[in-house]
A and B are shown apart, each in its own frame.
Chain A
Amino acid sequence: MHRRDLLRLLGGLSALAGLSPDELLALGPATHARLRDETSPLGFFDNHQMRTVVAAAERIVPRTDTPGATEAGCARFIERIVADHYDAPRQKRFLAGLVDLDQRASARTQFLFVDALSVDQDAVLTDVESAAYAAKPDGADSFWRDLKYLTLYGYYTSEVGVTQELKTPRFPGRFDGAMPITGGR
């Protein structure tokens, strides 16, 4: 971890100046948690790419009444699949897609994607999605579909996704071939 990255994680020195001692203390653990989440164990994504993936995934599956993609650790799963399963052209397209998020965010707000407000991040992602669906039916074969698939797959197969969002029973205990459907959950 370079000092520059650490400062970026902390939001810059200027932000620190206005904090109370208690708030400064609280920043410590939070920063460490973010460091852990945003540092790639595989080394395929650099820290900025990892942070971009974390931010985009959280907008796709945000925290609501249940945790979102960040708490589910989606970015690490995404990195593993991109690194190990994708061939070189698809990896290149994925990394180019992350650059595209920054370019679109900068053009719109003068901020990189990770530093943009949520509402602007959403606008960028909507643009990316629209471009994908304009290029091919169902947005097939695009950075957007890869990012979204991996985010959803990573989220719903995570511990958070399985136990808190889906609440999948591990041991059904019986088979019922005609169980009445009782609405949603």
Chain B
Amino acid sequence: MPRATWDAIVVGSGIAGGWAAKELSEKGLRVLVLEAGRSIDPARDFLMNAPAYEFDYRYLGDQQHLRTRQPVQRKCYACDEGATQFFVDDVDNPYTTPDGRPFDWIRGRQVGGKSIMWGRQCYRMSDLDFEANAKDGHGADWPIRYRDIAPWYDYVEQYAGISGERLGLAHLPDGPFLPPMPYSASEQWFRDGLARAYGGARVLTIGRVAVLSQAHNRRAACHYCGDCHRGCSTASYFNSVQTTLADALATGRCQIRPFSVVHSLRWDDATGKVTGVNVVDGQTNAAIDFRAKIVFVCASALESTRILLNSRSRAHPEGLGGSSGVLGRYLMDHTMQHGASGDVAGFEGVRTYGARPNGIYLPRFRNVTDRHPDFLRGYGYQGGGSRRIEGWGRGTAERGFGAEFKHALRVPRYGTWRMSLGGFGECLPHPDNRVTLDPTVTDRWGIPVLHIDMQWRANETAMMQDAEVQAAEMLEAAGCTNVKTYNNQTPPGLTIHEMGTARMGKSRKDSVLNRWNQVWDAPNVFVTDGAAMASSGCQNPSVTYMALTARAADRAVRLLNRKEL
């Protein structure tokens, strides 16, 4: 087996891996991207706007397949018949949880990773978030502040194209936004009502979303078909396949190898460095050894930590980066499925047109300036307002059939306008929310799998309740009627914002990564995806991974040039 040597290996090709590949190769490095899953050709694999009749089950899905092969993945709203191929096979990719403490782990293994079917919402973290651990003592202090990452937010947002509205809020910083997408009638109405009732203390804005509201960076504007998660033919939403990876490949210095399941990183006692990556070929199960000067681990939060845990050696008995004892600990996700919705009167003469791939955002207002008695930190809301339009579907429940019935169904029946708010709450970093290697279970490639032990705790539970109550209060204050609240207490994982388990920190004693995302115990290894997060904020985190990755890549190349790696 010939040993290929590269300047940099990037493990994973999703949001973070794509950025690492682009930045490192554009800065002159020879880069190998290792992706566990198959390759993706947008022309063949992106099924945006494929009509129902092109699918065997007309969007109802192959239930037998979902039941037997994707019992966890199917819980994700995006795992529909046009996108099920972007979610992993749960049988090939097992993990374990304690009895009575489920965790829904949603994964995508293909070139592009979950960036193909992600939710695309992008919100910056601020010093309210970066200072939170230090102020209330939960978790370890972040080694960076907003000023450290702000220019990198600018940089990645400028490239990715984020549409949104500037608010001037210190705790939800603005970026170089493309024009905001329009509100619906009930959203605009609710926004005005909120302003009247709360006088600026609580505000509504349109979602900040990585979908182009105008042509940008050689990509076309959104055409509002609403099928982003199936892959977009016009590259109108940000995913690594059609943006970062394409640019990385265009340098001529980057190569992507699909079906490359990374088992572990190879530690070399002689040099005191990681010298490469142990790979199991996804199709042949052959063991392959790839070598590089530096490694970027961007396999998704929990897969990255799994690789570190599996990288055990005499020098690193608890896994690479395990010397502090916190590797695998402080797992976080955002709470969701708590909120309210209500009816909005009026607007009988209008409806929405087009499928806007975006909703509204109501930024955090708890524990920003005041101090809530029941819980620390806060939550924001996502949601939207639309009109109920009953088309042919109403015919399934109505009596009747035949020619007259068919023709009657041609006329849509317009129902009430609704407005809904769904909370997304911050999760405190807790040492006992953690992942370990399962001592007995391995995946299809013989690699030890994770045992995931996580639960919502008192702070999260109190926050969920408050978010439910406050959603109703705001809807009623704006004038909604028939307000209904919910708090479904869904287990963690399904928000798909899993974070932590290899956190950044100020000291090698209580963190896995330093302020540049370098593993304290192996400085030529960088972990730049969700695993690095020291706290979760309540914002959708992907844009933070983009910024951290671009920042770390810049640092890595500087260090390489100074021969300090």
| CB contact between A84 and one of B62, B224, B225, B399 (< 8 Å): that residue | B62
Contacts of B552 in A (CB 8 A): none
| Any B CB within 8 A of the CB of A35 | no
A59-B401, A64-B407, A159-B51 known; A177+B184 contact, CB < 8 A: yes
Would you call A122 and B402 a contact (CB within 8 A)? yes
Residue of B nearest to A138 (CB): B397
Assembly CA distance A152 to B399 (angstroms)? 13
| Any B CB within 8 A of the CB of A36 | no
A173-B224, A178-B347 known; A81+B57 contact, CB < 8 A: yes
Query: Which of B57, B223, B402, B412: most chain A CB closer than 10 A?
Result: B402
| Any B CB within 8 A of the CB of A156 | yes
Choose the segment among B4-12, B130-138, B353-361, B523-531 that binds chain A (4+ C-beta atoms closer than 8 Å): B353-361
Would you call A177 and B185 a contact (CB within 8 A)? yes
Residue of B nearest to A145 (CB): B396
| Any A CB within 8 A of the CB of B411 | yes
| Any B CB within 8 A of the CB of A114 | no
Contact with A along B379-415 (1 / 0, CB 8 A): 0000000000001110111010111001100111010
| Any B CB within 8 A of the CB of A125 | yes
| CB contact between B406 and one of A61, A133, A138 (< 8 Å): that residue | A61
Residue of A nearest to B414 (CB): A181
Q: How far is the CB of B360 from chain A (nearest CB, A)?
A: 11
Assembly CA distance A10 to B221 (angstroms)? 55
Would you call B53 and A172 a contact (CB within 8 A)? no
| CB contact between B396 and one of A64, A149, A172, A173 (< 8 Å): that residue | A149
Assembly CA distance A153 to B411 (angstroms)? 17
Interface size on B, residues (CB 8 A): 47
A154-B58, A157-B52 known; A179+B350 contact, CB < 8 A: yes
| Any B CB within 8 A of the CB of A106 | no
A85-B60, A185-B411 known; A172+B350 contact, CB < 8 A: no
Would you call A175 and B182 a contact (CB within 8 A)? yes
| Any B CB within 8 A of the CB of A158 | yes
Assembly CA distance A152 to B183 (angstroms)? 33
Contacts of A77 in B (CB 8 A): 58
Assembly CA distance A68 to B401 (angstroms)? 12
Contacts of B52 in A (CB 8 A): 157-158, 162
Would you call B225 and A159 a contact (CB within 8 A)? no
Would you call A166 and B53 a contact (CB within 8 A)? no
Q: How far is the CB of B460 from chain A (nearest CB, A)?
A: 34
Contact with B along A157-185 (1 / 0, CB 8 A): 11100100110001111111111110011
Contact with B along A129-158 (1 / 0, CB 8 A): 100010000110000010011001110111
Residue of A nearest to B394 (CB): A152
Would you call A177 and B183 a contact (CB within 8 A)? yes
A residues 45-92 in Cβ contact with B at 8 Å: 59-62, 64, 68, 77, 80-81, 84-85
Q: How far is the CB of A130 from chain B (nearest CB, A)?
A: 9
Would you call A158 and B53 a contact (CB within 8 A)? yes
Contact with A along B224-243 (1 / 0, CB 8 A): 11000000000000000000
| Any A CB within 8 A of the CB of B349 | yes
Would you call A172 and B223 a contact (CB within 8 A)? yes
A170-B225, A174-B224 known; A159+B188 contact, CB < 8 A: no
Would you call B411 and A184 a contact (CB within 8 A)? yes
| Any A CB within 8 A of the CB of B63 | yes
Query: Which of A80, A125, A133, A157: most chain B CB closer than 10 A?
Result: A157
| CB contact between A175 and one of B224, B391, B393, B401 (< 8 Å): that residue | B224
Interface size class of A (residues with CB under 8 A): 35 or more
Would you call A84 and B63 a contact (CB within 8 A)? yes
| CB contact between B182 and one of A177, A180, A185 (< 8 Å): that residue | A177
Would you call B51 and A170 a contact (CB within 8 A)? yes
Would you call A175 and B356 a contact (CB within 8 A)? yes
Would you call B182 and A176 a contact (CB within 8 A)? yes
Contacts of B49 in A (CB 8 A): 170-171
Q: How far is the CB of B183 from chain A (nearest CB, A)?
A: 5
Would you call B185 and A152 a contact (CB within 8 A)? no
Assembly CA distance A60 to B57 (angstroms)? 21
Q: How far is the CB of B48 from chain A (nearest CB, A)?
A: 10
Q: How far is the CB of B414 from chain A (nearest CB, A)?
A: 7
Contact with A along B163-192 (1 / 0, CB 8 A): 000000000000000000111110110000
| Any A CB within 8 A of the CB of B352 | yes
Would you call A175 and B51 a contact (CB within 8 A)? no
Assembly CA distance A176 to B59 (angstroms)? 26
Assembly CA distance A179 to B309 (angstroms)? 55
Would you call B353 and A157 a contact (CB within 8 A)? no
| CB contact between B403 and one of A62, A125, A154, A184 (< 8 Å): that residue | A62
A60-B402, A152-B392, A162-B51 known; A181+B349 contact, CB < 8 A: yes
Residue of B nearest to A160 (CB): B53
Q: How far is the CB of B516 from chain A (nearest CB, A)?
A: 41
Would you call A153 and B62 a contact (CB within 8 A)? no
Assembly CA distance A60 to B405 (angstroms)? 8
| Any A CB within 8 A of the CB of B374 | no
Assembly CA distance A152 to B181 (angstroms)? 34
Residue of A nearest to B50 (CB): A170
Assembly CA distance A152 to B410 (angstroms)? 13
Would you call B411 and A133 a contact (CB within 8 A)? no
Residue of A nearest to B396 (CB): A149
| CB contact between A180 and one of B57, B349, B402 (< 8 Å): that residue | B349
Would you call B402 and A157 a contact (CB within 8 A)? no
Contact with B along A102-132 (1 / 0, CB 8 A): 0000000000000000000010010001000
Q: Give me 20 other A-B pairs in contact (C-beta within 8 A), A176-B354, A178-B184, A179-B353 excluded.
A: A61-B406, A85-B60, A129-B401, A148-B395, A148-B401, A152-B392, A152-B396, A157-B53, A159-B53, A162-B51, A165-B410, A166-B392, A171-B49, A171-B223, A171-B224, A173-B223, A175-B182, A175-B353, A175-B355, A184-B411
On A, residues with C-beta under 8 Å from B are: 59-62, 64, 68, 77, 80-81, 84-85, 122, 125, 129, 133, 138-139, 145, 148-149, 152-154, 156-159, 162, 165-166, 170-181, 184-185
21 sampled A-B residue pairs with Cβ under 8 A: A59-B402, A62-B403, A62-B406, A64-B403, A85-B57, A129-B401, A145-B396, A148-B395, A152-B396, A158-B52, A158-B53, A159-B53, A162-B51, A162-B53, A170-B51, A171-B225, A172-B223, A175-B353, A175-B354, A177-B184, A181-B350
Closest 4 CB pairs of A and B: A177-B184, A172-B354, A157-B52, A175-B354
